[in-house]
Amino acid sequence: MNDSPLQLPNCWQELQRAARAARQQAWAPYSRFPVGAAILTDCGRIFVGCNVENSSSGLTICAERTAVGAAVSQGFRSFSAIWISLAGMPLPCGACRQVLAEFQPDLLLILDQVDRDDQLPPELLRLSALLPRPFRLRLPDHS
């Protein structure tokens, strides 16, 4: 059995650092559940987001959607991976799954469980495993 730490590719180490730093900026006074996300574009740029809670809980913005919004606002729409840093190991909510699937239905998700004594390695999975049939609006052809 190999007890050595997981060796992450360099770009993943950058994603990990960025997601963990974003998590430190989260505004989570109600849930006390800070989340950070770092999304990697196909051309190697990293954009971050954190959850921003609101006393009207329906107005809360998740870290994953904040990261996507940051990337899209800078003109990036093609993604290869997203690193999500959180305590515990819940999966992205349904709204985040749908937003991520809008841009990359088979996106690589890297779930990083922090604040634990045993420091589990990140969990890797594909968005398509969590949302196999995302909603797709078929727009009429106006040509």
User: Catalytic residue numbers?
Assistant: 64
Residues 6+ apart with CB under 8 A from 116: 87
Burial class (CB in 10 A: 0-12, 13-18, 19+), 103: middle
| Count of C-beta atoms within a 10 Å radius of residue 18 | 22
Burial class (CB in 10 A: 0-12, 13-18, 19+), 11: middle
Burial class (CB in 10 A: 0-12, 13-18, 19+), 9: exposed
| Structure tokens belonging to residue 109 | 């998700």
